[in-house]
Structure 1
Amino acid sequence: MTRSNVLEIEPLSPAIGAVLRGVNLAEPASDDLIGDIRAALLRHQVIFFEGQDFTPTQQRDFAARFGDLHVHPLYDRDEGHPEIMIIDNHVDNPTDNNFWHTDVTFIDTPPMGSILAARQLPPVGGDTMWASMTAAYKALSKPMQTFLQGLEAVHDFSFAFTADGLAGSQAGREKYEKAVAANPPVTHPVIRTHPETGEPGIFVNSVFTRRIKGLRREESRALMAFLNQHIQQPEFVVRWRWRPGDVAFWDNRNTQHRAVDDFLPHRRIMTRATVLGDKPVFAA
């Protein structure tokens, strides 16, 4: 366990994850504290705050200290706070986040991070897992690293959100078609350089990445299947068991995550603020 000014930092694994103690997210944070939180995020990739009690307004304001906020084109939003996405899963609305993914990679400037708060939890289950894409990249052979570094991949909103899928059907046809028109496919490097740490990491995922450019269809599918399986190794992963008041803040540029869909018929409500990032660039 280490300290950074007022923060107490407890790492959860060598590759990813730490609990930060000594901060109340409901209170306005000083620039120094924001700097310490950012440094912990860069070091541990996903950080957790326990026992928090902050409103959607406070969640939005805290997230905005790290950058401009994204408004999701389909998911429900908190009334009065369009930047706060509501993830309310129950029997009539099962989760669609139970696949490994990186948030909102279907835009030119995918998020730098997301801040997720537990609002209502099932009596048991409903954990979330995160995986380090820098650790996953480092574990690849040198020839595979070299091969991947020159590749680009297509990320597509409509690949993840289909018109008859859960999110698309609930949003309604008009809203869905507007979202598709506003979010055409984009291209990102398969291996991106983290803009703050300079580390390379895998930047494709099973939800939004439609294909790898320059490869034949069968080659692209085989390579994506390998990468999607590779990133799930337990050495790269931390699993968080939610308790009321818990908050997670993850670096979306070098992680993937997935919800564990084991809690139905109980209800699980989370709220998320998503901080926009910059355009991914190729690994050096």
Structure 2
Amino acid sequence: MNREINVRPISGALGAEIEGVDLSQDLSNEAFDKVHRAFLDHHVIFFRDQNDLSPERHKAFGRRFGSLNVHPYVKGMEGHPEILEIIKEPEEKTNFGGGWHTDMSFLEEPALGSILHAIEVPPYGGDTLWANQHMAYDALSDGLKATLEGLTAIHSAGREYGPKGQSAMGRQSMETKQADNAPEFEHPVVRTHPETGRKGLYVNPAFTLRFKGWTKRESRPLLNYLFEHSRQEQFTCRFRWEAGSVAFWDNRSTWHFALNDYAGHRRYMRRVTVNGDRPF
């Protein structure tokens, strides 16, 4: 039985820790509604001490929000293709997710959210940062908002998962494949959240290539401005992982960045990604 549920914000921009929820058990409708509300209000929510969360229960929690994604370029966990095992061994130099991005924006219907469970964490480092893209949009001038409203951006996995991309690099611990001839998809630069109706920026450094109808060279100055703007400290929160911690973030309204500052130590996480819908 779940205890009293408490929601405690961790920063002024986004993020909240939720106490009184055991994700290894079925959530009552009342408990689920509180978790869902916190997810929409805070954009990323955290649960501590979820050491009993099995792969099956991890997937079951994700399915309360929608169907689960099978990653097109990264092999899933043995027996659980919907679960990514995000591993960095002590001798590896490059981590997975080590740059500002939004998960799966390279799909025609990008991810709703991602649920990451910490199995093994380094003794220090390995924090994750998130950035609130509603706040980033709200802080723009009215003139730039008006300009962006009419723009569409082209997203693709081709650069990140291509032959020279960081995410497709040969890894000892994760099996990835190159995105040869990766498709391109169009998404609005200003996205309306389908559940809250709030507007937010929907471009990211990893997967946004250019604006529709613009060349890459023409697109670069404005994209670089938006990328720099969107990761300002006042829009962010930072989470210190412990073994058993879970983070669930809204890919429709956030960016995130996995810090790579724990050389010589192992980090092992499991991620379930909930499918979303086409941005508008």
TM over 0.5: yes
- Report the Cα offset of residue 89 of structure 1: 1.0
User: In 1, Cα distance between the equivalents of 2:65 and 2:154?
Assistant: 27
- Report the Cα offset of residue 14 of structure 1: 2.5
Name the structure 1 match of 2:132.
132
- Report the Cα offset of residue 165 of structure 1: 3.7
Gaps of 5+ in 2: none
> Is the Cα–Cα contact under 8 Å of residues 163 and 176 in structure 1 kept in the other structure?
no
- Is 1:210–2:209 an aligned residue pair? yes
User: Would the alpha carbon gap of residues 135 and 169 (structure 1) be closer, same or farther in structure 2, given more than 3 Å must change?
Assistant: closer
User: In 2, Cα distance between the equivalents of 1:271 and 1:216?
Assistant: 38
Name the structure 1 match of 2:40.
42
Give the aligned residue type for 1:40.
Answer: A
Name the structure 1 match of 2:185.
186
> Is the Cα–Cα contact under 8 Å of residues 93 and 263 in structure 2 kept in the other structure?
no
Give the aligned residue type for 1:58.
Answer: R
> Is the Cα–Cα contact under 8 Å of residues 98 and 258 in structure 1 kept in the other structure?
yes
1:184-224 per-residue CA deviation (whole Å, 9 max, x = no partner) reads 11000001000000000000000000111233433310011
Aligned residue among 5, 10, 15 for 1:7: 5
> Is the Cα–Cα contact under 8 Å of residues 111 and 277 in structure 1 kept in the other structure?
yes
- Report the Cα offset of residue 157 of structure 1: 1.3
User: Would the alpha carbon gap of residues 74 and 170 (structure 1) be closer, same or farther in structure 2, given more than 3 Å must change?
Assistant: farther
Give the aligned residue type for 2:185.
Answer: V
Structure 1 residues 56-135: aligned runs within 5 Å: 56-90=55-89, 91-92=91-92, 94-135=94-135
User: In 1, Cα distance between the equivalents of 2:101 and 2:165?
Assistant: 17
Name the structure 2 match of 1:176.
177
Name the structure 1 match of 2:270.
271
> Is the Cα–Cα contact under 8 Å of residues 159 and 165 in structure 2 kept in the other structure?
no
Paired residue secondary structure (2:256) = strand
Name the structure 1 match of 2:49.
51
Farther-moved stretch of structure 1 (69-78 vs 187-196): 69-78
Gaps of 5+ in 1: none
User: In 2, Cα distance between the equivalents of 1:257 and 1:128?
Assistant: 7
User: In 1, Cα distance between the equivalents of 2:42 and 2:140?
Assistant: 20
Name the structure 1 match of 2:17.
19
User: In 2, Cα distance between the equivalents of 1:164 and 1:219?
Assistant: 23
> Is the Cα–Cα contact under 8 Å of residues 122 and 267 in structure 1 kept in the other structure?
yes
- Report the Cα offset of residue 64 of structure 1: 0.9
> Is the Cα–Cα contact under 8 Å of residues 160 and 168 in structure 2 kept in the other structure?
no
Paired residue secondary structure (1:253) = coil
> Is the Cα–Cα contact under 8 Å of residues 86 and 96 in structure 2 kept in the other structure?
no
User: In 2, Cα distance between the equivalents of 1:202 and 1:160?
Assistant: 20
1:88-117 per-residue CA deviation (whole Å, 9 max, x = no partner) reads 012236214111000000111111110001
Structure 1 residues 223-238: aligned runs within 5 Å: 223-238=222-237
> Is the Cα–Cα contact under 8 Å of residues 76 and 87 in structure 1 kept in the other structure?
no
- Superposed CA RMSD: 1.7
> Is the Cα–Cα contact under 8 Å of residues 128 and 258 in structure 1 kept in the other structure?
yes
User: In 1, Cα distance between the equivalents of 2:166 and 2:138?
Assistant: 36
> Is the Cα–Cα contact under 8 Å of residues 191 and 279 in structure 2 kept in the other structure?
yes
Aligned residue among 6, 29, 33 for 2:31: 33
- Report the Cα offset of residue 248 of structure 1: 0.3
User: Would the alpha carbon gap of residues 169 and 97 (structure 1) be closer, same or farther in structure 2, given more than 3 Å must change?
Assistant: closer
Q: TM-score, normalised by structure 1?
A: 0.91
> Is the Cα–Cα contact under 8 Å of residues 97 and 167 in structure 2 kept in the other structure?
no
- Greater helix share, 1 or 2? 1
> Is the Cα–Cα contact under 8 Å of residues 74 and 167 in structure 1 kept in the other structure?
no
